[in-house]
């Protein structure tokens, strides 16, 4: 198998698994219990909190463990909106957010909040001036993602955050795709909240983090015990949290080297595919993008069919189109970037990771062009276009 879908999830690192194992077996104490045995679980939890904090230069007390990246986004957006609705009920977001953000905002709209959804340019970029223009007296929160999961575009979060500070509006950013790929320093970056997920950085699924800046108040989504400073009730997923901590420690150690190598491999794959396949667009920003994502629109064919044929060759990739998202609409993100439906349907995303090799990229370059050719031969759209370009 050739795995090129690291933006969807990653393989748990063996060192992460090894760190987790004791907490799935003999170290089963509840961190809230008083005896010494449970204290060891508590210590593991606090050690993980320090590991996460170290990667983003935060105070460990600003780290809230959640049940994943989606939950962290929801906690930031709904939790902040609920806690501050007496100050205003207007929220600003962008059209290319992950569904965890978009649907959380839609839920708030149903509850009487107002949401402004900013458009993006052809590269998927939100411009800070747009945020400034959308600000109102009753704006309480801006939520704009850091790195986009479909096309990899990196948003100007420092500028947007500075604007929010000026206007005393809270700023949340979904940084699930950027953790471990870009250095994040919350002592410098003007953000109030950031969402992260363990399984995107070689950690376990079902664990996430909300970075919650000291003094920023959110209402919990889950009420119950006093865990996580009363922001997220429920007995902690100790093993998962230990895995998140370890994954952050490893990401810190490997980030520079890994990403340089992965970006080089990604560019190699992109250049070779672009040279081999006609009528193919490279989507997203040419430079301001995550090091591991290459995204394309291959004209005249369906992303879904490409995925099935790649799968038959043992290659795992992804597409923003059709059934991958459980709907027949092409990716909301590509449409927001101004691509017509017909072109957005032919989207293909490859996202590389630590274990990918040049040989694997060569294999993709060998396999994909004939797949595209075969699908185009079956496509009426392609026949018409080919005839038109002949005349």
Ligand X SMILES: *Cc1c(COP(=O)(O)O)cnc(C)c1O
- Which positions are annotated as active-site residues? 323
Cβ neighbours of residue 227 closer than 8 Å, sequence gap 6 or more: 31, 32, 233, 234, 235, 236
Interface pick for ligand X out of 98, 181, 299, 332 (rule CB under 6 A): 98
To the nearest 10 degrees (0 to 180), the angle between helices 99-110 and 69-83 is 30
Check binding of 149 to ligand X (CB under 6 A): yes
Pick the binder of ligand X from 16, 55, 58, 100 (CB under 6 A): 100
> Would you call 308 helix, strand, or coil by DSSP?
helix
Cβ 137 to ligand X shortest distance, Å: 30
The answer to the question of residue 203 lying near ligand X (CB under 6 A) is: no
Q: Considering only residues 205 through 244, tell me which ones interact with ligand X, judged by CB under 6 A.
A: 208
Give the span between the Cα atoms of 383 and 226, in whole angstroms: 64
CB of 251: closest distance to ligand X in angstroms?
15
Number of residues that bind ligand X (CB under 6 A): 15
The answer to whether residue 128 forms part of the interface with ligand X (CB under 6 A) is no
Query: Which of 215, 170, 196, 167 shows the shortest CA–CA distance to 66?
Result: 196
Q: Candidates 170-178, 222-230, 254-262, 336-344 — which segment interacts with ligand X by CB under 6 A? A: 170-178
Using the rule CB under 6 A, give the single segment among 193-201, 273-281, 309-317, 326-334 that binds ligand X. Answer: 193-201
Nearest residue to 217 (alpha-carbon basis) of 231, 233, 232: 231
Using CB under 6 A, which of 69, 161, 203, 243 touches ligand X?
69
If one asks whether residue 320 binds ligand X (CB under 6 A), the answer comes out as no
What does the chain come to in residues?
A: 391
Residue 363 CA: distances (Å) to CA of 7, 244, 299, 319: 20, 33, 22, 19
Nearer to ligand X, 71 or 302 (CB): 71
Contact residue for ligand X among 41, 70, 173, 292 (CB under 6 A): 70
How far is it, in rounded angstroms, from Cα 220 to Cα 207?
17
Scanning 25-97, the segments in alpha helix (DSSP H) are 36-56, 69-83
Closer of 145 and 322 to ligand X (Cβ): 145
Least Cβ distance, residue 366 to ligand X (angstroms): 29
Q: Name which of 358, 173, 183 is nearest 259 in CA terms.
A: 183
- Shortest Cβ contact with ligand X: which residue? 69
Q: Which residues bind ligand X (CB under 6 A)?
A: 68-70, 73, 98, 100, 145, 149, 174, 176-177, 197, 199-200, 208
């Amino acid at each position: 198998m050739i795995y090129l879908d690291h933006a969807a999830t990653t393989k748990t690192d063996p060192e992460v698994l090894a760190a987790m194992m004791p907490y799935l077996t003999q170290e089963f104490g509840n961190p809230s219990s008083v005896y010494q045995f449970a204290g060891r679980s508590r210590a593991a939890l606090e050690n993980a909190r320090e590991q996460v904090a170290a990667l983003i230069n935060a105070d460990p007390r600003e780290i809230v463990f959640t049940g994943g990246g989606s939950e962290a986004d929801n906690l930031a957006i709904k939790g902040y909106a609920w806690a501050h609705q007496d100050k205003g009920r207007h929220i600003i977001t962008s059209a290319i957010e992950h569904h965890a953000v978009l649907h959380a905002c839609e839920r708030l709209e149903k509850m009487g909040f107002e949401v402004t959804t900013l458009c993006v340019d052809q590269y998927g970029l939100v411009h800070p001036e747009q945020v400034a223009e959308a600000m109102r007296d009753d704006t309480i929160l801006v939520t704009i993602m850091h790195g986009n999961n479909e096309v990899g575009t990196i948003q100007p979060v420092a500028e947007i955050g500075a604007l929010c500070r000026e206007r005393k509006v809270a700023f949340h950013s979904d940084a699930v795709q950027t953790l471990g790929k870009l250095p994040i320093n919350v002592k410098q970056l003007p953000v109030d909240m950031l969402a992260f997920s363990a399984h995107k950085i070689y950690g376990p699924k079902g664990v996430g983090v909300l970075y919650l800046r000291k003094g920023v108040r959110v209402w919990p989504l889950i009420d119950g015990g006093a865990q996580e400073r009363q922001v997220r009730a429920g007995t902690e997923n100790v093993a998962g949290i230990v895995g998140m901590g370890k994954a952050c420690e490893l990401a810190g150690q490997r980030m520079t080297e890994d990403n340089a190598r992965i970006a080089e491999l990604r560019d190699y794959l992109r250049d070779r595919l672009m040279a081999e396949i006609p009528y193919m667009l490279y989507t997203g920003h040419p430079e301001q993008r995550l090091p591991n994502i290459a995204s394309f629109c291959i004209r005249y064919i369906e992303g879904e069919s490409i995925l099935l044929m790649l799968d038959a060759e043992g290659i795992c990739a992804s597409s923003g189109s059709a059934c991958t998202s459980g709907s027949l609409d092409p990716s909301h993100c590509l449409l927001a970037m101004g691509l017509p439906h017909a072109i957005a349907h032919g989207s293909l995303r490859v996202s590389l990771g630590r274990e990918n090799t040049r040989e694997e990229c060569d294999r993709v370059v060998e396999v994909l062009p004939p797949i595209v050719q075969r699908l185009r031969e079956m496509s009426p759209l392609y026949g018409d276009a080919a005839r038109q370009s002949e005349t």
